[in-house]
Structure 1
Amino acid sequence: MEKRTYYINVGTGEVLEDSTALDYEFEISATEDDIAKLQELFEETDNSSQGSYATSWLPWKVYYSNETNQEYDYYLTEVYRTLHRLGSEQTKRHIETMNVLENGI
């Protein structure tokens, strides 16, 4: 399968083909299958984010005692792992400086 260049905004979960269409954070080179998997990860991250919000206002809950928070961290880490694997050299360097791959988010 042919790889194409895509531009990613993690905060909004957007995958763009046009770098001028919207602000983006990362540039990757990916196949259509790679993009489908990345979009699934964005969906899982969004779903788990909504679940963790429900308990975020409870001051007596420790962040990691909530399984939903752990699920959110897992999927967000997988998003960054995927972006690192598919990313340009600049994308890879930026993600490495974030320290999100080894220790979780």
Structure 2
Amino acid sequence: MANEQDESYYARKPYYVSVQAGSILEDPTVTAYELEITANEEELNRLQELFEEYSTMDEAQAFHFGKAPFGGATTDSDRVINAGTDRLIVDIYRLLYELGTSDTKHHIETMGLFPEGRLE
């Protein structure tokens, strides 16, 4: 029985991802998606954790910048929050590239997020 669980845990299945919405779907007809990946349970959990972390960071950023929407000079805390958000986006797209179909990989390569070149 445990072996069957292990097999299903590591079996890769197709998923449809919307980074903008922070969603991972099994059914591509439910809502719009941008990218297609194949992932096992562990990889899917990693992606979900990154989306949750990004959502939390996005909320913190909205709160932080909402205090002074037309604020003057950029502060150190502004830079820290922006850097954290940027890092998470890069981490999300690196994982999506790793798990992505050839179309997904091509799309991510053309986005210009990774100036150092290929992501493999």
Q: 2:49 aligns with which of 34, 40, 48?
A: 40
Unaligned runs of 5+ in 1: none
Q: 2:95 aligns with which of 73, 82, 85?
A: 82
Identity %: 34
The one-letter code of the counterpart of 2:102 is: E
Q: Distance in 1 between matches of 2:107 and 2:39?
A: 18
Q: Distance in 1 between matches of 2:45 and 2:98?
A: 15
1:100 aligns with 113
How far apart are 1:51 and its partner, in Å?
1.3
Q: TM-score, normalised by structure 2?
A: 0.78
1:99–1:14 CA distance, 2 compared to 1 (3 A): same
1:55 aligns with 64
1:89–1:63 CA distance, 2 compared to 1 (3 A): farther
Q: CA RMSD in A?
A: 1.9
How far apart are 1:62 and its partner, in Å?
6.0
The one-letter code of the counterpart of 2:87 is: Y
Q: Higher Cα Rg: structure 1 or 2?
A: 2
CA contact (8 A) 1:27 1:91 kept: yes
1:15 aligns with 24
Q: TM-score, normalised by structure 1?
A: 0.89
How many residue pairs match? The answer is 103
Unaligned runs of 5+ in 2: 1-9
2:83 aligns with 70
Post-superposition Cα deviations, 1:55-105, rounded to whole Å, max 9, x if no partner, equal 3322422698521111111111100000000000000000010011347xx
